[in-house]
Structure 1
Amino acid sequence: MTKLINCQVANRWEDGLLIGNGGLGMVLYGAPDATYLDLSKQDLFLKSNNMHNLPYLAPHIEKLRNIIDIEGYTKGIHYFYEKAKELGYEGLTMSDPFIPAARFLLEIKNDSVENYQRMTDFNRGTIRITYESSIGGKVEQVLFASKNNDCIYGKMESEHPISGRISPVIWGEIDFVQQLLNSSEGQLKWENRYQDHSGYDVVLSMHSCTGSIIASKEHLVFEDATEIYFTIQYVEKDEEILEIDSYEKALKNHVEWFQDKYNSVQLLLTDEEETIYLEEVLSEMRALNRVTPEFIQIFYQASRYIIQSMAQGIPTLQGIWSGTLQPAWSGDYTFDTNVQLAISSLASSGYFPEYLSFFERIKEYFPDFRENAKSYYGCNGFLVPAHASTTAKHVHWNEEWPLIFWISGAGWIAHFYHEYWHYTKNEKFLKEECVPFYKEVLSFYLDYGQQREGKILLSPSYSAENGMGDNTTMDIAIMKSVLKHYFDAKHYLDEDVEEEFTELYGQIPEYRLLDDGGIAEWLDERTVENDNHRHFSNLYPLFQTKEINKSTPELWKAAEIAFEKRMDSWLNNLEGDTTSSHGRMHAAMCAISLEQVNKVTQSLEALILENAFMDSLATAHYSGKEVFNVDANGSLPKVIHDCLVYSEYDESITILKTVPYFLNKGRLRGIYLPNRLYLHSLEWDVDKGFANVILVKQEPLVPVINLGVHYALIEEASYEIKQLDNQRWQYYVSFSFTK
C-alpha cells in the first residue's frame, strides 16, 4: 500500500497534497483550471515582531519570591509583569510567523473536467494529479521535492495540446517587498525583501519540447503544449542560481533516495494493496464507527511520509508547509509539547542523520537560551521559551499566560539528547553534545533552586498552560532524570562527577500524592488540581522518562489514579478542555506505559473518529480538520511501535505490550530499539495466539524479551541464536499464547 488517492478537489491549502525534502516543501491545492502551488522553506519566518529586547528582571527575583510566598502566585506574576513593562517589555509577543516563501497560480484552459484524482505516492515521494479534460484529453501533473538539487520539480503531460500560464501571487497585505526582476527565456525571478534588506529570491523556470513558452511581464505562458517541465528554486539573497539536473535524472535520484529510507520500515495490518481511495476507507470506518486496520495502516504510512518529508532541523507546528500568512500560534517552534512529539518517532524509525540535524539547529539558539536565563533570573545555563522562531528570546508571556515561569523546556530537550545516545551508543555524541547540554540544564537548576529544609525549592514554577505553583512534578522529574543521565554519561566516559551535582541529587524532594492517592501536578500544597486539561505534565516521569514503572509500585498506582482522572475529566468529557491532538498522543503514551489497552484505544479513536486530520492525512490540532498541525503525525509511528515492541525501564523488551483491536494482527519490520537493537521483523496474530520476533544486536548479549501481560503463554518461548557476522547476532523468539 503506497498510494493514497482522493477524488475531491482541495479547496484550501490545509487539504492540499504535500511534498518535501526536509528543507524545502510545497503544498498543491485548488481546481484543475486554477491550481495553487505554495512553496515553503524551513526556518522562513516573517521578520515583523519585536523579539529582541528582554527586560532585565534578575534583580527583582527575590522580591518576586517573597510576594509568591506571602501573597501567592497571582500577585507574584502581576508584580513581575508590571516590572517588566516598566523596563520596556511590550507584553506577550507572538513569534515571527512561519510563512510560505511564494505562491504560484497555475491556470489551464479547460471547458470541463472528468475523473479527477489527486494522489500521494508515499513510496516514491511524489504527488500526482490526473483528470480528463475536454481540451487536453488525459492530463497528468507530477511534482516532487529533490534533495540533491534542493528544488521543486514539476511535469505536465496531456493527450492533446493545452495552453495556460503560471503566475506568482503577490501577497500585498504584509510589510514585505516583492517584485519581479526579470522574465525571459522561460524564467521568472521573483525578489522578496524584508525591511532590513535581507531576503531571498524565488526562480520559476519552464520549458517545453512540444509547444511554446512565452515570458510576459508577470507570467510564464505556455501554448499548444503536450509536455511541460518546470522547476521552482529558493535562492538566498545575493547567491547565484545553481545549475540543476534534468527532470528525468532528478526524479531517478529522488525516488532512489526516498525509497531507500521509506521502505526500510514497514507496517502491514491487512493484505497489501498498492492503491487506497481515501473516501472509501473513511466511509467504511464511519459506517462501522470503529477504526479499521486499513485506516491505521495508511495513517501510519502517511505519517512516516510526512516525517521523512519534513525531517531536517526543528519541526514547526506545521512541519515545513504553510499556505497562510497568519498561522495559528505563528506556526512556530513550540517547545512545551509540540516539538517533542514531532521528533518522537525519529529514533525508532531510524532517521538518525535527520535527528542529528535537530541538535545542530538547536545549537543556534544557545546564546538566546543563556540570555533568557541571565536576564530574567540571573542564572547560568539554559532557559528555553515555549515559543521560538526568528529568535528564541523569551517574550511570549504575560499575566494570563505566565510562561516565563515554565522552566522545563531545556530539561525536556535533554531527554532527546539522551535518547539519541541510548539508541546509537555514539560516544563522540555523548561526550561532545550530551554532557555539555546536560551541564547547561543542571547549571540553571543549581542557580535557580532555593534550599528549604534540606530540599530544593523551584519557585516560581509553572505546569505548562495549566497553572502556577512551587515545584511542579514535571520540573522535579526533569531535574532528576537529567542528573541521572549526566551521572551515567560521566561514568561511561570514566570522568568524575562534580560534587555540587551529587549534592543537588540528594536534595530532590519526593513527589506529592493527593488524598485519593494520585500523583499531584505540583508539590506545592497551595495548588488546586485541574484534571480537565490537555497537557499531561504530572505524568512526565511515566510516559517520557519511565522513572515510574512496576518497580515503583506506589508511584505506579499514583500514576494510574492521576491518569484515570485526566481521561475522565478531559479526553472522555464532552465538555473537556479543547480537542487537542497532542493531548491525545500523550494520553496514548501514558496508557501504553500503564498497559491499559482500552485507554490507548480511546486516545487513538478520539483522534481518528473525530476527524483530526486533513485530506493528506496530515494531522489537525483540533477535531473536525481544524488547524494544520503535524505533531501527531510525528508521534503516531512511535505510539504504534510502542504498542507492539516496547523498551522497558530495565532495558528488557516487551512484545505486544498494549494492542488495540485495530492492531490485532500484522507484520512490522525495520524499527530500532535502544542499545543498538534492531527489530528485523515481528509477525503476530492475537486471535491465533502467536508472535514471532527476529531481533539483531551488535553484541553477543541475549536481550530479555517478554510477552505483554494481557496474554498467557501456552509454553515457554523458544529462542534461536545465530551469529550473522563478526559484529551482529540474530535472535529469533517465538511465543504461543492465549488471551
Structure 2
Amino acid sequence: MLKTRDIVPAKGAWNKSHAERWEEALVSGNGNQGVMVFGNPQKETIIGNHSRLYLPTGTGNQLVNMAPYLDEFRQLIQTEGYEKAIRIFYDKAKDLGYQGLQMSDPFHPGFHLYIESPIQKAEQYMRSVDFETGQIAVRFVDENNIYHRRKTFVSRADDVIVHSIENNQSDVSCILNVEDYHHTLITHERSMETDLIQLHNAYEKGPGGYQVAIQIHAPQGKVSVRDNKVFIENAEHLVLVMKITPFSSVRGNEIEIAKDVSSSSYKTLLEKHIALHKEMFTRVNLNLSTEKERMRCTEELIEEAKQTNVIPLALLEKMYDAGRYMYMCSAGELSPNLQGIWTGTFSPAWSGDFTFDTNVQLSIASALSSNLTEGLHGLFRLMKELMPGFKDNASYYYGCRGIMVPAHASNSGRHFHWNDEWPLHLWTCGAGWLGHWYYQYYLYTGDKQFLANETIPYLKECVLFYEDFLIEDTDGTYRFTPSYSAENGCGDNATQDIAVAKEVLTNLINCYKELNIESSETKKWEKMLIKLPNYKINQEGAIQEWAINGKEENYNHRHFSHLYSIFQSREFTAESEPALWNASEVALNKRLEAWLRSDDADTSSTHGRMHAALCATQFNLKNLVYEILQMMVINDSIFPSMMTSHYNNHQVFNVDGNGAIPQVINEMLVDGVPGKITLLRALPDQVSQGAISGVLLPKQIKVEKLAWNITAGTIQIDVISSIEQEVELEVPLFSHVDVVSATGCSPSLMEEHKWKLKLYANQTAQLEIHF
C-alpha cells in the first residue's frame, strides 16, 4: 500500500485524480521549456511547450500611417466626441489598408506525446507536483497489485524535458505515439525510430519553425516501430529525454542532445537540475501551517475552504508557493505570457500572448520581493526584441519619437489589436508602466550598471514619446488626448496616463541623481512634471478615472487603472496627500460595491481581484485582502494544480493570479518603499501567527526572518541591508508598539507605532517588538 507521507512533497500539491483537459494538467518548466502532464494511467498525455513558440499567422505585417491625421482626430474629439472621432479614424485606417482588429500570433504547444499502457485498473492513485524540485510524479497500484511510478521534470542544467516510467516488477510495456499537427499554417514531418522520435514543424507564414527530439531509453526491452508508433515490451524501465528547438532558417539543423545528457540516468539528470531549482525556490519560505496539514491533497483543502468559508493555512501556503513556482518555471528566456509557458491548444484565449494592459504586470508582480530578480532578465530581453515595433507604433499612430507598447504582442511589438469598439490604440501608458520594473530592479539590487545601461535608455524612450505626444491647454497644462483607461472607455486625461507619466519622469530624474549625472535634461523633465494635469475628485469623493469635467464614472469594471498610484507607483500616502489618499480609497470602495461584490459585475476577473487586493494592502484593509483570496478559492479560480484561471469555474488558464498572490501576501506581511518598512499592514485575523523568510525590499534590504504571534503580541524581525541607511519601521494595525530589544541597529522612537532604525551595511539587525 502507498504511504502518503513518503511520496507527498513538503512544498507542492497533489491530487487524487488525473486531468481530463490540458488546463488541469500538472506543470513544470525551466524558463525556456515547459511540460504539462495529465497523469492518466491508461493513456498518458504529455504536452511539451517552449517560450518562443508563437505561430505566425501572416497578419499584422505592416502598419498604416495614421500620424498625418492626428490633428484632425484630436479636433474631432473636441467637437464631436470620442465615439464619432474613433469611428471616423477607424474608417480612415481601413481606407489606408488596415485589416481591422487582429490578434497577435498565438502561443502554441510543441508536441503532444501519448503513452498507452496495458493498465486495466488503477487504485491508490496520486499525482503530485513538487514546487521545491520541479518534479511531477504519478503513482498508483494496478489490478495485479504492481506499484507504478512515473516522474517528469524540465532540467535547468541541461534544458531537456525528462520523463521516466518504472514499476516494482522492472517490467515496463507501453506504446508511444505523437500527435501529427494538421494545421494549415504548419508543415509537419515525423520520423519514428526505435531509439528516437523526431518532429519537424515549419511555419507556412514563417520564417522558421521548430523541431522536437524524443530520445528513447528502454533497457532490456524489445522496441519496435509499427503503424508509426513505438512499441516497448518488457523493459527494465523507460526514460524519455525530450527537447524542443525553434529555428529561424528555412529548414533548421537536426537536434543534437548532448551525449552526456542522453546517456545519463534519470536520477543523475534530476540531481543536477534540483541543485539549481531548489536553491531558487528555497530563497523564500512562508510558514503558516503544520507538516500534517501540508500533506493533505489539494482537492480536500479547496473543498474545506468552500464548506467553512475559511482558507486552510496549508492552502494559503500553497497559493503562495505556487505563485513563486509558476514564475520560476516561466521566466527565463522571456517573461511569462498569459499562460506562463504552457498551452495545449493552437487557439488560446487572447492568443495566450503578452497582454500588457495589466496581465504581464501582474505575472511579474512578485519577482523582486520574492527574491527571483533574475527572472526579470527575460522581461528586459523581451522588451529589446519588441522595441522596433514599439517605435513603429509611436511613429505611425502619433508621429512621435520614443516608444508605444501595444496591449497585445508576441512575435512583433507592432500594434494591430484595435477597432472602433476596442480602441486600444489610444492606450499609450503601457511603455511607462513596464518602465516601473526597470527602476525597481535597480532599487532592489543596487545594480548601477543596469541603471545606466538599461533603465535610463528605456525610460528616455518613454519620455521622448511624451515630449512629442503631449499638447498644452491654454494655461500651459499638458493634456493627454486621445486617452483611454484600459478597456473602460475614452476621455481626455485618463488618470493612469497621468500617474504613469509622473512615475516615469520622477524615476528618470532619480536615475540621474543616483549616478550623479549633471544634465540640462533633468531641468526639462522637472518642468514636464509640473505641467502634468492634477487628478480630480468627483462629488462622491472618489478620485476620477479621467481628470476632466463631465466624464461619468463607470464603477462596474474589472480594471483598476485609476488606482495606479496606490497599487503600483506608490506616488502618495495618507501623510503626503491626504485628500488624494482618501479619494482613492473611496474609489476603491465604489469598485468593490459595483464590481467585486456585485452579482451584476461585468465579468469575474482574476486580474481585477489582484489589483483590488494590492490596493487593500496599502489601505491596511486586512479583511478585504482575505476576502479576495477566499474568492479565488471558493469561486474555482484555482485549479487543483494550483495554477489560476482568468474567470470563475476554472475558465481560461491564466497565470496573472499566480504571479500576484505572493506579492499580495508579502505586502500584507512585510512591505517596503525606500526609507520605510511596514509590518503586518494587512494581516488577516485568520493568520494570527506564522513566519516568513527571504523576502526582499527596496534599497537592498533582505528580511532574513519575520515571525509574529498576535495572541502573544510579539513580532520578531531580522533584516540585513547591503548599504548603511536609515528607515522608518511601522506597524499600522496596532496603536502602540515597543521595540523591546534590538541588536545590529540603532532604533529610536518616532511615534507610538513607528520607529526609526539605522541599519549598518551587511550587518543583521535583530528586533523584538511587542504590541
- Scaled to the shorter chain, the TM-score interval is over 0.9
- Work out whether 1:314 is the aligned partner of 2:350: no
Q: Distance in 2 between matches of 1:548 and 1:703?
A: 18
What stretches of structure 2 of length at least 5 have no aligned partner? Answer: 1-9, 747-758
* C-alpha contact 1:292 1:662 (8 A) present in aligned 2: no
Q: CA RMSD in A?
A: 1.7
Corresponding residue for 1:671? Answer: 695
Q: How far is the alpha carbon of 1:214 from its aligned partner?
A: 1.9
- Work out whether 1:594 is the aligned partner of 2:619: yes
Q: Distance in 2 between matches of 1:56 and 1:235?
A: 36
Name the SS of the counterpart of 1:574 in structure 2: coil
Provide closer, same or farther for how the CA distance between residues 70 and 113 of structure 1 changes in structure 2, counting only shifts above 3 A.
same
* C-alpha contact 1:119 1:128 (8 A) present in aligned 2: yes
- Work out whether 1:475 is the aligned partner of 2:497: yes
Corresponding residue for 1:646? Answer: 671
Amino acid at match of 1:670: G
Q: Distance in 2 between matches of 1:279 and 1:618?
A: 13
Q: 2:764 aligns with which of 720, 730, 735?
A: 730
Q: How far is the alpha carbon of 1:497 from its aligned partner?
A: 4.1
Provide closer, same or farther for how the CA distance between residues 717 and 534 of structure 1 changes in structure 2, counting only shifts above 3 A.
farther
Amino acid at match of 2:331: A
Corresponding residue for 1:424? Answer: 445
Q: 1:205 aligns with which of 206, 215, 220?
A: 215
* C-alpha contact 1:186 1:214 (8 A) present in aligned 2: no
Q: How far is the alpha carbon of 1:503 from its aligned partner?
A: 2.3
Q: Distance in 2 between matches of 1:732 and 1:497?
A: 44
Compare 408-417 and 237-246 and name the one that shifted more.
237-246
Q: Distance in 2 between matches of 1:700 and 1:223?
A: 66
Q: How far is the alpha carbon of 1:710 from its aligned partner?
A: 1.7
Counting only pairs closer than 5 Å after superposition, residues 55-204 of structure 1 correspond to structure 2 as 55-134=64-143, 137-160=146-169, 161-180=171-190, 182-195=191-204, 196=206, 198-204=208-214
Corresponding residue for 1:242? Answer: 257
Counting only pairs closer than 5 Å after superposition, residues 386-397 of structure 1 correspond to structure 2 as 386-397=407-418
Q: How far is the alpha carbon of 1:548 from its aligned partner?
A: 2.5
Corresponding residue for 1:252? Answer: 271
Q: Distance in 2 between matches of 1:714 and 1:9?
A: 50
Compare 286-295 and 386-395 and name the one that shifted more.
286-295
Q: How far is the alpha carbon of 1:8 from its aligned partner?
A: 1.0
* C-alpha contact 2:113 2:176 (8 A) present in aligned 1: yes
Amino acid at match of 1:111: Q
Amino acid at match of 2:377: L
Compare 240-249 and 32-41 and name the one that shifted more.
240-249
* C-alpha contact 1:110 1:135 (8 A) present in aligned 2: no
1:326-353: CA deviation from partner (whole Å, max 9, x where unpaired)? 1011100000000000011110111122
Aligned residues: 733
- Work out whether 1:225 is the aligned partner of 2:240: no
Name the SS of the counterpart of 2:237 in structure 1: strand
- Work out whether 1:539 is the aligned partner of 2:567: no
Corresponding residue for 1:266? Answer: 285
Q: Distance in 1 between matches of 2:387 and 2:657?
A: 27
Q: 1:455 aligns with which of 449, 470, 477?
A: 477
Name the SS of the counterpart of 1:372 in structure 2: helix
* C-alpha contact 1:206 1:213 (8 A) present in aligned 2: no
Name the SS of the counterpart of 1:276 in structure 2: coil
* C-alpha contact 2:720 2:761 (8 A) present in aligned 1: no
Q: How far is the alpha carbon of 1:272 from its aligned partner?
A: 3.0
Q: Distance in 2 between matches of 1:141 and 1:448?
A: 57
Provide closer, same or farther for how the CA distance between residues 47 and 567 of structure 1 changes in structure 2, counting only shifts above 3 A.
same
Q: How far is the alpha carbon of 1:462 from its aligned partner?
A: 0.2
Q: Distance in 2 between matches of 1:714 and 1:53?
A: 62
Q: How far is the alpha carbon of 1:716 from its aligned partner?
A: 4.3
Q: How far is the alpha carbon of 1:703 from its aligned partner?
A: 3.0
Amino acid at match of 2:299: E
* C-alpha contact 2:285 2:693 (8 A) present in aligned 1: yes
* C-alpha contact 1:470 1:523 (8 A) present in aligned 2: yes
Corresponding residue for 2:733? Answer: 710
Corresponding residue for 1:445? Answer: 466
Q: Distance in 2 between matches of 1:155 and 1:414?
A: 43
Corresponding residue for 1:526? Answer: 550
Compare 66-75 and 497-506 and name the one that shifted more.
497-506
Amino acid at match of 1:271: T
Corresponding residue for 2:743? Answer: 720
Q: Distance in 2 between matches of 1:601 and 1:510?
A: 33
Q: How far is the alpha carbon of 1:217 from its aligned partner?
A: 5.5
Compare 202-211 and 91-100 and name the one that shifted more.
202-211
1:406-438: CA deviation from partner (whole Å, max 9, x where unpaired)? 001001001111110111111111111111111
Q: Distance in 1 between matches of 2:443 and 2:740?
A: 27
Q: 1:491 aligns with which of 510, 513, 518?
A: 513
Amino acid at match of 2:504: V
Compare 102-111 and 598-607 and name the one that shifted more.
598-607
Q: How far is the alpha carbon of 1:702 from its aligned partner?
A: 4.4
Amino acid at match of 2:437: F
Q: Distance in 1 between matches of 2:406 and 2:481?
A: 17
- Work out whether 1:384 is the aligned partner of 2:405: yes
Q: Distance in 1 between matches of 2:760 and 2:402?
A: 43
Q: How far is the alpha carbon of 1:147 from its aligned partner?
A: 1.6
Q: Distance in 1 between matches of 2:231 and 2:28?
A: 25
Amino acid at match of 2:487: E
Amino acid at match of 2:208: S
Q: Distance in 1 between matches of 2:12 and 2:476?
A: 61
* C-alpha contact 1:135 1:162 (8 A) present in aligned 2: no
